[in-house]
Amino acid sequence: MATAPYTIRLDDALKRELESEAALDDRPPAQLAVHAIRALIEARQAKRTAIEAALAEAEEGRFISQEAMMTWVDSWDSAEETDLPDADILPGK
């Protein structure tokens, strides 16, 4: 994979923290910065994908009622723990 230089400005405290963390891993600060940037971008993309999927699902008009969700949440860590409820608010109902 080709790489290209990219310049960013860091305040002194952040630069020291980056250098300190990189030293703990015995690798260059730039490598740690690339890893952090990649992780941030992947997390943002995953969040955006999840939001888009949720919006598409909402457009279908299928929802789980608050009552069903609360019953499910209340079952957590009990002997009668249940699975995630199915949609009980449907289009045309």
Average pLDDT over residues 11-33: 97
Q: Give the start-to-end residue ranges of the domains of the chain.
A: 13-59, 61-93
* pLDDT value, residue 57: 84
Q: What is the mean pLDDT of the chain?
A: 94
* pLDDT value, residue 1: 81
pLDDT digits (tens, 9 = 90+) for 43-82: 999 999 999 998 998 898 889 999 999 999 999 999 999 9
Confidence of residue 92 (pLDDT cuts 50, 70, 90): confident
Compute the distance between CA of residue 82 and CA of residue 77 in angstroms, rounded to an integer.
Answer: 10
Q: Which long-range contacts (CB under 8 A, 24 or more apart) does 11-15 make?
A: none
